[in-house]
Amino acid sequence: MPGATSQEGADLARLIAGSEVPADSLIAALLWLRVGIIEPAHEIVQDDSTQSGSYLHGVVHRLEGDYWNAKYWFRHAKDQRWMQLLSNAVVHRVAQEGLSDVATKLKVLQQGVYLPTEFVSAHEHLSSSSHSGSEHEEAVGRIAYLEWECLCELIGNA
């Protein structure tokens, strides 16, 4: 599998193969994304036209730095009920972590709603400026992890 050539990738490939998680499932894609190996996740999500698959496709492109394409996939994920569930979960987790103020400054949270396209814009802004090590960079990384946890719960419970 492309991208699985590192030791971490080989270990994850073996873990998935020895588990009940189908290698082509969105849960497997989430695991690949968690360890930062994008190619196998991209292979999985590009063939999945579900709400979750479209959303994860946006996450893949956000991580690749393909910001326009990431926003396209987030807009493509149109199931309002699913997006509301994700938004509620992310907003709750962000508040628990004490990140609501910085998320609002970054425009990631607006009027109590999580906006994934604005999260892409925050990534893009940070990657094109000298905010390395800043409070915003740390918050973006933490929010991305919280989003990942919420996606695991939503997709795992589907």
Q: Which amino acid is at 34?
A: R
Question: What was the pLDDT predicted at 91?
Answer: 98
Q: What is the pLDDT of residue 137?
A: 87
Is residue 48 one of the residues assigned to a domain? no
What pLDDT is recorded for position 9? 81
Token pair 């589907």 is at which residue?
158
20 domain-assigned: no
* Residue 12 resides in a domain: no
- Is 98 inside a domain boundary? yes
Angle at 54 between CA 31 and CA 147, to 5 degrees: 50
Amino acid 1: pLDDT: 45
Domain that holds residue 123: 78-156
Residue 62 has a pLDDT of: 96
- pLDDT digits (tens), the chain, 158 positions: 444 557 788 888 888 888 899 999 999 999 999 998 999 999 999 989 999 999 999 999 999 999 999 999 999 888 899 999 999 999 999 999 999 999 999 999 999 999 999 999 999 988 877 655 577 888 999 999 999 999 999 998 87
Q: Does 33 fall in a domain?
A: no
Is 131 a member of any domain?
yes
- Residue whose C-alpha is closest to residue 14's, from 83, 103, 6, 42: 6
Tell me, yes or no, whether 89 lies in a domain. yes
Query: Is 71 part of any domain?
Result: no
CA distances to 5, 58, 103, 120, 129 from 71, in Å:
29, 7, 18, 7, 20
Number of domains in the chain: 1
**Which residues, listed in sequence order, are joined to residue 136 by a DSSP beta bridge?**
none
